[in-house]
A and B are shown apart, each in its own frame.
Chain A
Amino acid sequence: NAGVTQTPKFQVLKTGQSMTLQCAQDMNHEYMSWYRQDPGMGLRLIHYSVGAGITDQGEVPNGYNVSRSTTEDFPLRLLSAAPSQTSVYFCASSSSGHGQPQHFGDGTRLSIL
């Protein structure tokens, strides 16, 4: 049972580099989202999508881009990495509708030097 798969698990970047965090789900969920988790701050929503071709900004979108060309995939792009983007990134998916449980990947631990 794959569920939500995130790659890579770990990544170290230099300031100014760009990269894409991959997220794929095999549950045919319409709703997908990206969070960052920092100590003492819980989960903060970066971007989300309610279906293929539809994306929107969350609480902390600056410095990140997303696209949703298929139901399964929801990549997160860092355009020009900054040390403030050092964090653990989680992708989640859920069925549409209020109150649905979120299914999370195991996260990508990203360090920006």
Chain B
Amino acid sequence: TQLLEQSPQFLSIQEGENLTVYCNSSSVFSSLQWYRQEPGEGPVLLVTVVTGGEVKKLKRLTFQFGDARKDSSLHITAAQPGDTGLYLCAGYSDSNYQLIWGAGTKLIIKP
């Protein structure tokens, strides 16, 4: 069974601080996606990474796909209260069509 482990599960920090969320697996993924979910809504796609070692930036958010395509990280610079939410990673395996989901990181940014 393929698993995606996210860490930390919960993070509460002050506005302006930096943070990193990790998504790790022992399996190889053909691509990996990051979603953000706000209360009462469904997850919304932030980015898809496909190539090992790929780095993508979305304003203050930096996403990296590991060289071996088994792990990924999300780094937020100078976090703001608007970044508050549940961050989910999800990977497409090479062997089947289904997305494998991490359990999520609940992020709270305090003003």
Which residues of A does B touch, CB under 8 Å? Answer: 4, 40-45, 48, 50, 58, 90, 92, 98-99, 101-102, 104-107
Contacts and interface: CB of A to CB of B under 8 A. Distances in A.
Interface of A is mostly: loop
Scoring B9, B42, B50 by chain A CB atoms within 10 A of each residue's CB, the highest score goes to B42
Contact of A99 (B41, B50, B101): B50
A98 B104 contact: no
Interface residues of B, number: 23
A109 B72 CA distance: 31
B33 interface: yes
A102 B33 CA distance: 10
Interface stretch (B13-21, B55-63, B73-81, B92-100): B92-100
B33 A101 contact: yes
Interface of B: 9, 30-31, 33, 35, 40-45, 48, 50, 88, 90, 92, 97-99, 101-104
B40 A106 contact: yes
Given A43-B101, A106-B40, 10 more contacts: A4-B42, A42-B103, A43-B90, A45-B98, A45-B99, A90-B42, A99-B31, A101-B33, A101-B45, A102-B99
Nearest to A92: B42
Contacts of A43: 43, 88, 90, 101
A105 B4 CA distance: 23
Given A42-B88, A99-B31, A99-B92, A106 B99 contact: no
A82 to B, nearest CB: 23
B42 A106 contact: yes
A61 B83 CA distance: 34
Contacts of B43: 43, 90, 102, 104
Contacts of A42: 88, 101-104
